[in-house]
Amino acid sequence: MNVSSFSRSKWRKRNPKWPIQPVISVLILLFIFFFFFFCTDIPKYIFSNSSKPLISQFPQCRIGETLGEKFLWFAPHSGFSNQLSELKNAILMSAILNRTLIIPPILDHHAVALGSCPKFRVLNPNDLRIRVWDHIIQLLQSGRYVSMADIVDFSSLVSSSMVKIVDFRVFALLWCGLNKDLACFEASEFESSSIKQCGSFLSGMDGNVDRCLYALKDDCRNTVWTYQQKNRDGLLDSLQPDEELKRKKKISYVRKRRDVFKALGPGSEADLATVLAFGSLFTSPYKGSELYIDIHEAPPDHRIQTLLKKIEFLPFVPEITNAGKKFAIEKIKAPFLCAQLRLLDGQFKNHWKATFSGLKQKLEILREEGPHPVHIFVMTDLPEANWTGSYLEELARDSDTYKLYSLQEGDELVVQTANKLAAAGHGMKSGSLSRNLGVRRMKKDCPSGTLPSVLLYIEEMICSCASLGFVGTTGSTIAESIELMRKNGIC
């Protein structure tokens, strides 16, 4: 037998049944597809096909098509002053991104805590959002729901079309597919699986859904939001975790400055979503930078520049403003000093001496100048029954030199104001969607719940009217809020 012939015959038997060339071509095409999908900056939503299956799986997605609106939600936390600060940032973000802002309720003081941005130890956005949702449900169950729009006056912003807003309760009616107002729900109804699933979905616990929900995972540990800061988008922020923190906490966060309009505006995946969900929107100056949002001016954008000036100070609704003025005019009836003394909460409970020091210095000056008695409005978290042995007791005893005033939850003025606010229902009436859908669907026979707690806001308003001056607790956001009110001369 010929050896060469045998070899060729053996080689032919080892030939594969499938041609090699087409298989290689397919593999190359697959490689190119996966390379572009995972390794380039091409938006992933271009490759996705989100239509009927998503609508059937997530019926909430229909509201975008039905209303032709895009919404912005965020997760407020901590005390009222911090929540108000976040609300201002939310107004700014919603205006930049042209979205309707979902106005949240006022959360119980420290019911939800963020953590510490400087220490890079905060709740991740999904967990923060679901905790806020759960607390909102608790407020609704207990009849203690008070909208930010019930307390803060948005009328000038809405009337000038600077911002579009909708009350959370109205949005929830649509988002959760409810057929009656939330005020009409029995407490047990809030425990239904559909309500829980609705909150979980909105919080991003099920992930993002194309053209429906975009739940941001970015927070102060990795992002500083900016707007129209030339040639700075994508740069590293000056504030980064130091080496000791990296070593002790084993963290590897890198904070980058990102233009919010470029990242979440037209042309982005986020822009296609009906709901854009932020986590916390709290920010504060820190070590030459900002903890999360660094947008203080926008000269090229006249609309946003004007809005930035308007949201520096947001007044209370007329019911609260008038109550504060009434107390000053009809109760005190004379020039007075306001003393805001935070003595029991957090860091303040161990610094009584420092808190009282500034008040003593101010009163010594007023005592020498006269006339007597010096009228003082005392705003404090220390109950009068516990003033024994404190500087407040000393002032109260010296009735010839000082006359003290205070306000309590059960006082007639406070109760009257709470009733007026409940009757006004500013929150449910705020925004065009609320007017068209929310108020119309409310039933008059639904329980109204407990009266809103308004003492803090009336006290702040009274302090803004103090013509002899104001002494606040160092580091207190309440004191900062009062100083801002006094600066804007609303009394």
DSSP annotation of 107: P
Same domain membership, residue 185 and residue 291? yes
**Do residue 127 and residue 222 come from a single domain?**
yes
Q: Are residues 137 and 95 in the same domain?
A: yes
Same-domain pairing of 153 and 255 = yes
pLDDT of res. 29? 63
291 and 398: one domain?
Answer: no
By three-state DSSP, how is residue 340 classified?
Answer: strand
> Residue 104 in contact with residue 171, Cβ under 8 Å?
no
Q: What are the structure tokens assigned to 8, written together? A: 């060729």
Token match 């930049």: residue? 96
CA quadruple 166, 167, 169, 170: dihedral, nearest 10: -30
Interval 78-90 mean pLDDT: 96
| 58 found inside a domain | yes
Cβ contact 86:484 at 8 Å: no
Tokens of 41: 């900056």
What's the mean pLDDT in 61-72?
Answer: 84
Within-domain flag for 17: no
Q: What is the pLDDT of residues 361-375, one digit of tens each?
A: 999 999 999 899 999
Residue 336 lies in a domain: yes
In a domain, 431, yes or no: no
Is residue 366 domain-resident?
Answer: yes
Domain boundary among 268, 287, 312: 312
**Is the confidence at residue 151, as pLDDT, over 70?**
yes
Distance between CA atoms of residues 467 and 459, nearest Å = 15
For the segment 198-222, the average pLDDT, to the nearest whole number, is 94
End residue of a domain, out of 290, 312, 334: 312
Quick check: is 138 in a domain?
yes
Please report, for the domain that includes residue 379, its CATH number. Answer: 3.40.50.11350
Instruction: Return the SS3 of 34.
Output: helix
pLDDT, tens digit, for every residue of 371-403?
999 999 999 999 999 999 999 999 999 999 999
Tell me, yes or no, whether 339 and 482 share the same domain: yes
Q: 307 and 364, same structural domain?
A: no
User: What's the confidence (pLDDT) of residue 314?
Assistant: 96
Write the pLDDT tens digit of every residue in 426-460.
988 877 666 665 454 454 556 667 889 999 999 99
Residue numbers of the domain that contains 458: 318-409+453-488
Distance of alpha carbon 51 from alpha carbon 209, whole angstroms: 10
Q: Do 184 and 325 sit in the same domain of this protein?
A: no
Least confident span in 239-253, 411-425, 468-482: 239-253
Tokens of 123: 């709740």
Question: For all residues of the chain together, what is the average pLDDT?
Answer: 86
Tally of domains in the chain: 2
Average pLDDT over residues 404-427: 95
- Is there a domain that residue 106 lies in? yes
The burial class, CB within 10 Å (0-12 / 13-18 / 19+), for 289 is: middle
Which among 312, 343, 374 is the end of a domain? 312
Report the alpha-carbon distance of residue 482 to residue 409 in Å, rounded: 20
Whole-prediction pTM? 0.84
DSSP 168-214: HHHHHHHHTT-SS-GGG--GGGGGSHHHHHHHHHHTTTT--BTTTEE
For residues 172 and 235, membership in a common domain is answered with: yes
13 inside domain:
no
Distance CA(455)–CA(51), nearest Å, equals 49
Same structural domain for residues 106 and 208? yes
What is the predicted pLDDT for the residue at 45? Answer: 39
Q: Are 168 and 136 in contact (CB under 8 A)?
A: yes
Using alpha carbons, select from 235, 207, 45 the residue that is nearest to residue 125: 207
Contact 211, 54 (CB under 8 A): yes
CA 191 to chain CA mean position, Å:
25
Q: Which residue in this structure is represented by tokens 């000093």?
A: 337
Distances (CA, A) of 139 to 80, 386, 396: 15, 30, 38
Around Cβ 447, how many Cβ atoms within 10 Å? 10
318: preceding bond cis by omega (within 30 degrees): no
Collapse the DSSP code of 334 into the 3-class scheme (helix H, G, I; strand E, B; otherwise coil) and give the result.
Answer: coil
Do 77 and 186 share a structural domain? yes
The verdict on 237 and 369 lying in the same domain is no
